[in-house]
Amino acid sequence: MMFSCLFGVGFVLVRYRKNGVLKRLKATPVSAFTFVSAQVASRVVIVLITSAFVYAGTNAFLRFTMNGSYLLLLLLMTLAVISMIAIGLVFAGRLRSEELAGGLMNLVIFPMVILSGVFFSLEGAPTLVRQVSNVLPLTHFVDGARAVMLEGAGLVQLLPNLLALTATSLFFLFVSATLFRWE
């Protein structure tokens, strides 16, 4: 999900800029906000549908434990997807090289994967590492998804995760809108 969001938006917009598509779109009545919003909306739909198929397919074989609400999990996933797309848009806003965009996105992705608690617990990690991980959107998604699926957490218990994902989404969307250039 994270790779699809970051690289899907990042590479597409960098390729559009490199091939001159964005330059041609600048001459149309389409505003930058409309164009970027359309990119976000289309990627959200694609990633959510893809994730639903992956979840259903793997659930057929592995039988996940689901003690919470599927709608709450969908809300959490939607906010996480928007947050990841917004991070991808920050890189896509100015870069002209797919290689540079890929390298910079990897500089963000790998620390996020390592520090999010996906592969191992951060309980014994130093305080600074745990504080850094709490800033990352993937951490809030993983913690929230685990709480919904394993503990049956409700909206009130997920509120800190939902607020953190909303805040990171808004912050990175603002930064990406500020940095975005047609050429």
User: What pLDDT sits at residue 150?
Assistant: 92
Q: Is the model more confident about 102 or about 143?
A: 143
CA 22/CA 16 separation, integer angstroms: 6
Mean of pLDDT values over 45-50: 92
Mean of pLDDT values over 159-163: 96
Task: Share the mean pLDDT of the chain.
Answer: 88
User: What pLDDT sits at residue 181?
Assistant: 78
Measured at the CA of 163, the angle between CA 44 and CA 167, to 5 degrees, comes to: 70
Distance (Å) of CA 170 to CA 128, 132, 175, 176: 24, 19, 9, 10
Report the domain count for the chain.
1
Give residue 111's domain range: 2-179
Summarised one tens digit per residue, pLDDT across range 110-122 is: 888 888 888 888 8
Share of the chain above pLDDT 90, in %: 34
User: What pLDDT sits at residue 158?
Assistant: 94
Rg (CA), the chain: 17
